[in-house]
């Protein structure tokens, strides 16, 4: 009896679906729409490094690159695009000049590499040197702009007060002569006092360096101040 | 005078067999406990005695006659009959407990169903319900940390999987009450979250790649999860609170509806907000932490047992669902498993099981563009087993039919709307037959030395055109002397893993990873040949201060050809089939059980040598674990586990998009659990607190971290 029930159950299970599925095999899928699998790398024009987080927009489909600048996109081609209608492409990344392109895509796998130009100024080096027996400090910075040092409009030191609620103070930096057309040296003396005994040589004050260029690109870097291991001046103190 | 001496000597020789004095010891074959009050007598005579409180006996002087048979019997044990002429004085006689009557105990059925008992020689480790409960883990996979040479991988959202002796998780077959639950994904690994910890009766690990009945395609070994269904009427409720807003509530019921009909139910609802950290290529920036991940889980199971005329009919259903969302990824997973098992009294089993899985994934790297993938998997399995015994020959036959089906739909949702761009309906069917034949040679007359020879065969045939015949050979020597029981063994075998449906579907997209790779047009099955030499020894102490000391050692060698390597690349999978890998290793474990009747100490170590670290990533080259468990009769218990994992290797894509391996430093960790169990009225309470680290080592490319996890639980049991 139980044997019969078992057989009936097997029979029901087998016949409930398409029977050929139960002895045959199918190992291939079907693409319903033509797709282009696009991959590639977005790199920095000046350094050839990957652009982390670059956003790529192919018509209505968007993706983002990983930290090495690699991206991957599965793009669905419309009827018109299969008949060579061009696809607008825009690549954007923070602090880079955007790049636009018009492409005709086909359904093959594509490797498309893009190069973006870095637009913002960059703070290369900085130094915070206590001077005048701890009554003031000299702040120095070397700033680069791939569009030429001339395009840098201002470099500012934003010094945090001892207590956060006191806010901060701004000190614009003075440009020093430089031979290099891409980078320039900046310097400023800021009032700075510290009670060495109370601070026990570890003074956790901090400052920001802000660089702005004529296209309103900027670069802001936050630095901590460690008096136990003060910075060495980057270039001779001229005055 | 000379003649007189000869006469005297010949008198001595002649008289020797005329009078005999027998002595010996009678022990339980399973746990070496002395059997007090066992009967020892000569068949058909009145000469006999019983054993003392320590199992010793001494038969008085008697005159033996040729052909006398010595009978040793004890209530509840299988009677033993020995030819007196074969008895070497004094000897230890082991009696085996008689099997319980049908329908008396479900566990005896579970044991009979268990193909693990009939497999090639291997090392087995098991963890029982009480131990699991005391360990205080929220997930089954954590419990596996207790077992030597076993390592867990994965995390709370992507699923938790098990590696055995440096194998990949997909090379471990996981059975839930005899049903294979490895999924049909590319990884082929079983997600152990399917079943809740509290619903387990026993966990069993069979290590080794040469297991033709259960371990087809499992180069690492086999895991058996035996779920809890008791015949006593009881009800249990449990609530758990833990870190990361973990909340979990469970209810289990065992109801004997009729003397032949038993019903059990288990249900769990749990939620958690795990904190995970991403590695760059997942989130395209420096490691970020996201606390907003939410997971919701439900587990349900229903089991019906019906006993009639020595047969058993069992029906069960398991349901598991998981929903979670993390930035850029949403997932809804549902699994349903239904099985019908029929056992006859002459050791025939037929099981029909259907596994249905649905996985809906929503991936986005940018908020405006979503890729939606739906995976529907189905597996129908028909399995018949028959055990035949004929004198000292045992034959175990297995017939298997698998129908695997995978439907995948890929959709793109962007600013223009949603469009379906890819659909696949993959299916394949597999037939397999396996036989394990074993001969037992009793080397000594008392049956205290056995040599068991195993020969195994297996044939697998798939509708997609693969066909492979594999064979296995094993030797198992069982040697008892006094309180020692030694079991040296050897096993050698071949094993085949067929490409999964996804792997076959991606066969056209093979690419090269290493210089030694070759591009193939189609995939070949993965092929494994392994050998293992090992020994398990146990010494049972006579003193009540300590029960036993056990030692297990194994040297193993696993060679794998045609290994398929599947790696995600972007939102695609790329795949290659690499030449070979050799894993060599040694495993050692020792345990002192029940010191002062409550303390158990265990230590284990493993050393691995893996030749291809790209194929076998995340496998610590060495590991060591120390465990102490204490259980006080008054109800207090404490469990600690300390383990060290040596360095391991993982893969990643470098700046030029080339796949490379990187070294990961070793780590160590401590798990702690303490609780108190007490009775109040008709209720049994169990109050527990435990702490351990949640490991997340799903893949180096995602995230790798450990998080402190603390939890407290209270369970109330009635009945």
Distance from CA of A55 to the nearest CA of B (A): 8
Q: Output the CA torsion A214→A220→A224→A229 (10° steps).
A: -50
> Based on the domain organization, do A99 and A183 belong to the same domain?
no
Cβ-defined contact of B424 to A28 (cutoff 8 Å) = yes
Residues 6+ away with beta carbon under 8 Å from B371: A74, B362, B363, B364, B410, B411, B412, B413, B571
> Based on the domain organization, do A141 and A207 belong to the same domain?
yes
Mean of pLDDT values over B359-371: 88
Cβ-defined contact of A27 to B311 (cutoff 8 Å) = no
Query: To which H or E segment does residue B135 belong?
Result: helix B129-135
**What's the CATH code of the domain at B503?**
2.40.170.20
Name the band, by pLDDT with cuts 50, 70 and 90, for residue B572: low
> Based on the domain organization, do A147 and A193 belong to the same domain?
yes
Residues of A in contact with B415 (CB under 8 A): 60-62
Query: Which position has the higher pLDDT, B228 or A157?
Result: A157
Q: Output the CA torsion B225→B231→B232→B238 (10° steps).
A: 30
Rounded Cα gap, residues B172 and B371, in angstroms: 31
Rounded Cα gap, residues A138 and A234, in angstroms: 11
> Based on the domain organization, do A108 and A162 belong to the same domain?
no
The whole-number pLDDT of residue A15 equals: 65
The beta-carbon neighbor of A25 closest among B382, B463, B570 is B463
In this structure, is residue B294 part of a structural domain? Answer: yes
Which residue has 């006094």 as its token pair? Answer: B482
Please provide residue B131's backbone torsions phi and psi, each rounded to the nearest 5 degrees.
-65, -40
CA distances from B41 to A136, B38, B64, B675 (A): 107, 10, 12, 49
Which residue has 């398409």 as its token pair? Answer: A18
**Six-digit token string for B482:** 């006094």
Rounded Cα gap, residues B115 and B387, in angstroms: 10
Interface with chain B: mutation pick from A25, A54, A77, highest number of B CBs within 10 Å: A25
Query: Which position has the higher pLDDT, B159 or B370?
Result: B370
Mean of pLDDT values over B427-448: 86
In this structure, is residue A191 part of a structural domain? Answer: yes
In this structure, is residue B659 part of a structural domain? Answer: yes
> Based on the domain organization, do A202 and A217 belong to the same domain?
yes
> Based on the domain organization, do B464 and B321 belong to the same domain?
yes
The two counts, helices (H) then strands (E), for chain B are 6, 40
Q: Residue B448 pLDDT more than 80?
A: no
DSSP string, B604-641: EEEEEEES-TTTS-S--SEEEEEEEEEE-TTSEEEEEE
**pLDDT tens for each residue of A150-192:** 889 999 998 876 666 677 888 999 988 766 788 889 999 888 7
CA distances from A223 to A31, A57, A126, B402, B531 (A): 54, 36, 9, 64, 61
Rounded Cα gap, residues B42 and B59, in angstroms: 10
Instruction: Give the rounded distance of the alpha carbon of B458 from its chain centre.
Output: 21
Strands of the sheet containing B20-28, edge to edge, are B56-62, B20-28, B91-95
Name, of A10-14, B125-129, B541-545, the range with top average pLDDT.
B125-129
Mean of pLDDT values over B389-414: 91
Instruction: Give the rounded distance of the alpha carbon of B466 from its chain centre.
Output: 28
Q: Residue B103 pLDDT more than 70?
A: no
The whole-number pLDDT of residue B194 equals: 79
Listed residues B95, B123, B156: the one ending a domain: B95
Q: Residue B5 pLDDT more than 70?
A: no
Question: Average pLDDT over chain B, rounded to whole?
Answer: 83
> Based on the domain organization, do B89 and B229 belong to the same domain?
no
Cβ-defined contact of B369 to A63 (cutoff 8 Å) = yes
The whole-number pLDDT of residue A115 equals: 94
Q: Residue B406 pLDDT more than 60?
A: yes
Rounded Cα gap, residues A74 and A84, in angstroms: 18
Q: Are B611 and B581 in contact (CB under 8 A)?
A: yes
Residues 6+ away with beta carbon under 8 Å from A118: A44, A45, A46, A47, A95, A96, A97, A146
Q: Is B668 near chain A, with CB under 8 Å?
A: no
> Based on the domain organization, do A159 and A75 belong to the same domain?
no
Q: Residue B487 pLDDT more than 80?
A: yes
The whole-number pLDDT of residue B107 equals: 54
Share of chain A above pLDDT 70, in %: 87
Q: Output the CA torsion B449→B455→B456→B459 (10° steps).
A: -170
Q: Output the CA torsion B515→B518→B519→B522 (10° steps).
A: -150
Counting the structural domains of chain B, the total is 2
Domain containing A46: what range? 35-116
**pLDDT tens for each residue of B323-336:** 988 777 888 999 99
Name, of A114-118, B305-309, B700-704, the range with top average pLDDT.
A114-118
**Six-digit token string for A118:** 């870095």
The whole-number pLDDT of residue B285 equals: 41
The whole-number pLDDT of residue B21 equals: 75
Rounded Cα gap, residues B227 and B200, in angstroms: 4
Strand partners of residue A186:
A141, A175
**Six-digit token string for A57:** 């927009």
Q: Is A48 near chain B, with CB under 8 Å?
A: no
Q: Is B311 near chain A, with CB under 8 Å?
A: yes
Q: Is A170 near chain B, with CB under 8 Å?
A: no
**What's the CATH code of the domain at B23?**
2.60.40.1120
Cβ-defined contact of B415 to A60 (cutoff 8 Å) = yes
Distance from CA of A53 to the nearest CA of B (A): 6
**Does the model's ipTM exceed the 0.95 cut?**
no
Burial class (CB in 10 A: 0-12, 13-18, 19+), B309: exposed
Name the band, by pLDDT with cuts 50, 70 and 90, for residue B238: very high
> Based on the domain organization, do A184 and A139 belong to the same domain?
yes
Mean of pLDDT values over B624-648: 91
Of A200-214, B99-113, B295-309, B666-680, least confident by mean pLDDT is: B99-113
In this structure, is residue B251 part of a structural domain? Answer: yes
Residues of A in contact with B372 (CB under 8 A): none
Q: Residue B13 pLDDT more than 50?
A: no
**What's the CATH code of the domain at A62?**
2.60.40.10
Q: Residue B104 pLDDT more than 80?
A: no
In this structure, is residue B216 part of a structural domain? Answer: no
Listed residues A116, A149, A180: the one ending a domain: A116
The whole-number pLDDT of residue A134 equals: 67
In this structure, is residue B356 part of a structural domain? Answer: yes
Domain containing B701: what range? 223-718
Rounded Cα gap, residues A140 and A189, in angstroms: 9
Query: To which H or E segment does residue B502 belong?
Result: helix B501-505
Q: Is B370 near chain A, with CB under 8 Å?
A: no
Query: Which position has the higher pLDDT, A51 or B654?
Result: A51
Mean of pLDDT values over B302-313: 87
Rounded Cα gap, residues B242 and B78, in angstroms: 49
Q: Residue B278 pLDDT more than 70?
A: no
Share of chain B above pLDDT 90, in %: 36
**pLDDT tens for each residue of B36-94:** 888 888 887 778 888 887 888 888 777 777 778 888 888 778 888 888 777 777 788 88
A5: nearest CA in chain B?
B342
Q: Are A176 and A186 in contact (CB under 8 A)?
A: yes
Query: Which position has the higher pLDDT, B659 or B614?
Result: B614
In this structure, is residue B155 part of a structural domain? Answer: no
B380: nearest CA in chain A?
A13
Listed residues A72, A89, A116: the one ending a domain: A116
Q: Residue B158 pLDDT more than 70?
A: yes
Residues 6+ away with beta carbon under 8 Å from B181: B174, B175, B190, B191, B194, B337, B355
B226 three-state secondary structure: strand
Q: Which of B237, B236, B265 is CA-nearest to residue B249?
A: B237
Burial class (CB in 10 A: 0-12, 13-18, 19+), A175: middle
Rounded Cα gap, residues A32 and B423, in angstroms: 7
Name the band, by pLDDT with cuts 50, 70 and 90, for residue B18: low
The whole-number pLDDT of residue A164 equals: 62
B348: nearest CA in chain A?
A3
> Based on the domain organization, do A67 and A91 belong to the same domain?
yes
Query: Which position has the higher pLDDT, B514 or B648?
Result: B648
In this structure, is residue B323 part of a structural domain? Answer: yes
Residues 6+ away with beta carbon under 8 Å from B208: B120, B122, B123, B165, B215, B221, B491, B530, B532, B556
Q: Residue B249 pLDDT more than 90?
A: yes
Q: Residue A203 pLDDT more than 90?
A: no
Q: Are B643 and B626 in contact (CB under 8 A)?
A: yes
Query: To which H or E segment does residue B133 belong?
Result: helix B129-135
The whole-number pLDDT of residue B454 equals: 95
Mean of pLDDT values over B576-582: 80
Q: Residue B283 pLDDT more than 50?
A: no
Name the band, by pLDDT with cuts 50, 70 and 90, for residue B438: very high
Q: Please report, in angstroms and rounded to a whole number, the separation of the first and last CA atoms in chain A.
A: 107
> Based on the domain organization, do A112 and A126 belong to the same domain?
no
In this structure, is residue B140 part of a structural domain? Answer: no
Name the band, by pLDDT with cuts 50, 70 and 90, for residue B15: very low
Query: Which position has the higher pLDDT, B650 or A55?
Result: A55
> Based on the domain organization, do B419 and B558 belong to the same domain?
yes
Listed residues B72, B95, B118: the one ending a domain: B95
**Six-digit token string for B297:** 């889980």
The whole-number pLDDT of residue B677 equals: 92
In three-state form (DSSP H/G/I as H, E/B as E, the rest C), the secondary structure along chain A is CHHHHHHHHHHHHHHCCCHHHHCCCECCCEECCCEEEEEEEEEECCCCCECCCCEEEECCEEEECCCCCEEEEEEECCHHHHCCCCEEEEEECCCECCEEEEECCCCCCEECCEEECECCCEEEEEEEEEEHHHCEEEEEEEEECCCCHHHEEEEEEEEECCCHHHCEEEEECEEECCCCCCEEEEEEEEECCCCHHHHCCCCCCEEEEEEEECCCCEEEEEEECCCCCCCCCCCCCCC
Listed residues A70, A87, A116: the one ending a domain: A116
Q: What angle do CA A44, A46, A47 make, to 5 degrees?
A: 70
The whole-number pLDDT of residue B514 equals: 41
In this structure, is residue A219 part of a structural domain? Answer: yes
Listed residues B68, B95, B122: the one ending a domain: B95
Mean of pLDDT values over A119-138: 84
The whole-number pLDDT of residue B19 equals: 63
Name the band, by pLDDT with cuts 50, 70 and 90, for residue B480: confident
Q: Is A15 near chain B, with CB under 8 Å?
A: no
The beta-carbon neighbor of A28 closest among B281, B414, B505 is B505
Q: If phi over 0 gives left and psi between -120 and 50 gives alpha, with beta otherwise, what is residue A12?
A: alpha
In this structure, is residue A193 part of a structural domain? Answer: yes
Residue B500 DSSP code: P
Q: What angle do CA B54, B60, B66 make, to 5 degrees?
A: 115
CA distances from B648 to B208, B554, B623 (A): 21, 21, 10
The whole-number pLDDT of residue A225 equals: 77
Cβ-defined contact of B369 to A31 (cutoff 8 Å) = no
> Based on the domain organization, do A94 and A56 belong to the same domain?
yes
> Based on the domain organization, do A109 and A46 belong to the same domain?
yes
The whole-number pLDDT of residue A238 equals: 60
The whole-number pLDDT of residue B88 equals: 74
Strands of the sheet containing A136-144, edge to edge, are A122-131, A136-144, A183-191, A174-176
Residue B111 DSSP code: H
Of B195-199, B316-320, B425-429, least confident by mean pLDDT is: B195-199
**pLDDT tens for each residue of A72-85:** 888 888 888 888 89
Counting the structural domains of chain A, the total is 2
Q: Is B350 near chain A, with CB under 8 Å?
A: yes
**pLDDT tens for each residue of B139-154:** 887 888 889 899 888 7
The whole-number pLDDT of residue B3 equals: 60
Cβ-defined contact of B419 to A31 (cutoff 8 Å) = no
């Amino acid at each position: 009896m139980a044997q019969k029930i078992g057989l009936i159950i097997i029979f029901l299970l087998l016949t409930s679906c398409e029977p050929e599925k139960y002895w045959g095999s199918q190992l291939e899928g079907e693409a319903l729409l033509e797709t282009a699998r696009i991959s590639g790398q977005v790199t920095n024009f000046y350094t050839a490094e990957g652009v982390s987080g670059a956003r790529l927009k192919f018509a209505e489909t968007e993706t983002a690159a990983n930290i090495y600048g690699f991206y991957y996109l599965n793009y669905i081609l419309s009827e018109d695009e299969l008949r060579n209608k061009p696809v607008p492409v825009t690549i954007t990344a923070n602090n880079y000049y955007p790049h636009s392109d018009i492409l005709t895509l086909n359904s093959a796998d594509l490797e498309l590499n893009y190069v973006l130009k870095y637009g913002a100024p960059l703070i290369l080096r900085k130094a915070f040197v206590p001077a005048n027996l701890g009554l003031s400090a000299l702040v120095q910075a070397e700033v680069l702009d791939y569009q030429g040092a001339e395009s840098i409009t201002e470099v500012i030191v934003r010094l945090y007060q001892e207590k956060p609620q006191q806010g901060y103070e701004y000190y614009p930096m003075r440009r020093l002569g430089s031979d290099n057309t891409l980078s320039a040296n900046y310097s400023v003396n800021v009032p700075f006092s510290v009670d060495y005994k109370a601070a026990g040589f570890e003074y956790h004050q901090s400052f920001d360096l802000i660089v702005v260029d004529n296209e309103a690109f900027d670069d802001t870097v936050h630095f901590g101040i460690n008096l136990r291991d003060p910075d060495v001046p980057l270039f001779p103190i001229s005055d | 005078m000379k003649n007189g001496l000869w006469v005297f000597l010949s008198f001595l020789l002649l008289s020797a067999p005329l009078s005999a004095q027998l002595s010996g010891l009678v022990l339980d074959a399973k746990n070496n406990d002395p059997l007090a009050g066992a009967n020892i007598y000569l068949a058909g005579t009145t000469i006999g005695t019983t054993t003392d409180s320590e199992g010793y006996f001494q038969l008085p002087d008697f005159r033996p006659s040729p052909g006398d048979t010595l009978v040793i019997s004890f209530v509840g044990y299988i009677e033993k009959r020995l030819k007196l002429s074969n008895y070497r004085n004094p000897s230890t006689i082991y009696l085996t407990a008689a099997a319980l009557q049908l329908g008396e105990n479900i566990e005896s059925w579970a044991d009979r169903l268990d193909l693990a008992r009939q497999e090639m020689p291997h090392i087995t480790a098991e963890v029982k319900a009480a131990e699991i409960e005391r360990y205080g883990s929220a997930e089954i996979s954590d419990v596996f940390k207790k077992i030597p040479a076993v390592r867990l991988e994965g995390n709370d959202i992507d699923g938790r999987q098990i590696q055995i002796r440096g194998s990949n998780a997909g090379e471990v077959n996981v059975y839930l009450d005899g049903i294979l639950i490895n999924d049909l994904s590319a990884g082929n690994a079983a997600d152990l979250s399917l079943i809740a910890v509290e619903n387990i009766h026993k966990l069993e690990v069979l290590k080794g790649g040469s297991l033709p009945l259960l371990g087809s395609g499992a180069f690492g070994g086999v895991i058996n999860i035996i779920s809890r269904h008791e015949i006593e009427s009881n009800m249990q409720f449990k609530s758990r609170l833990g870190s990361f807003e973990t909340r979990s509530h469970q209810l289990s019921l065992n109801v004997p509806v009729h003397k032949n009909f038993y019903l059990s139910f288990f249900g769990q609802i749990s939620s958690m907000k795990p904190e995970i950290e991403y590695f760059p290529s997942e989130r395209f920036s420096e490691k970020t932490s996201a606390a907003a991940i939410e997971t919701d889980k439900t587990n349900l199971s229903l089991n019906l047992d019906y006993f009639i005329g020595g047969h058993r009919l069992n029906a069960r259903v398991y349901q598991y669902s998981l929903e979670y969302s993390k930035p850029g990824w949403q997932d809804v997973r549902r699994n349903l498993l239904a099985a019908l098992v029929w056992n006859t009294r002459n050791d025939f089993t037929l099981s029909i099981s259907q596994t249905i899985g649905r996985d809906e994934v929503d991936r986005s790297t940018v908020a405006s563009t979503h890729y939606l993938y739906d995976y529907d998997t189905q597996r129908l399995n028909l399995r018949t087993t028959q055990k035949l015994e004929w004198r000292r020959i045992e034959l175990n036959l297995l017939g298997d039919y698998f129908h695997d089906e995978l439907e995948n739909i890929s959709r793109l949702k962007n600013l223009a709307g949603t469009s379906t761009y890819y659909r696949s309906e993959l299916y394949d069917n597999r037939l397999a037959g396996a036989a394990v034949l074993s001969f037992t040679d009793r080397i000594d007359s008392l049956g205290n030395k056995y040599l068991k020879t195993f020969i195994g065969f297996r044939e697998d045939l798939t509708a997609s055109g693969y066909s492979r015949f594999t064979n296995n050979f094993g030797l198992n020597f069982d040697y008892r002397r006094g309180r020692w029981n030694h079991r040296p063994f050897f096993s050698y075998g071949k094993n085949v893993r067929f490409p999964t449906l996804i792997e076959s579907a991606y066969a056209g997209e093979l690419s090269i990873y290493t210089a030694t790779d070759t591009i193939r047009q189609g995939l070949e099955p993965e092929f494994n040949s392994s050998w293992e030499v090992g020994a398990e020894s146990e010494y049972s102490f006579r003193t009540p201060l300590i029960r036993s000391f056990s030692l297990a050692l194994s040297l193993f060698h696993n060679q794998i050809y045609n290994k398929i390597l599947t790696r995600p690349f972007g939102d695609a999978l790329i795949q290659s089939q690499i030449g070979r890998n050799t894993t060599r290793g040694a495993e050692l474990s020792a345990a002192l059980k029940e010191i002062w009747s409550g303390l158990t100490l265990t230590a284990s170590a493993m050393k691995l040598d893996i030749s291809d670290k790209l194929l076998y990533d995340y496998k610590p080259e060495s590991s060591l674990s120390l465990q102490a468990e204490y259980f006080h009769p008054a109800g207090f218990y404490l469990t600690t586990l300390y383990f060290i994992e040596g360095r391991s290797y993982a893969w990643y894509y470098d700046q030029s998009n080339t796949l490379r391996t990187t070294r990961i430093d070793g780590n160590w960790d401590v798990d702690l659990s303490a609780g108190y169990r007490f009775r109040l009225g008709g209720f049994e309470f169990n109050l527990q607190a435990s702490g351990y680290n949640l490991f997340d080592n799903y893949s180096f490319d995602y995230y790798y971290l450990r998080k402190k996890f603390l939890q407290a639980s209270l369970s109330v049991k009635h009945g």
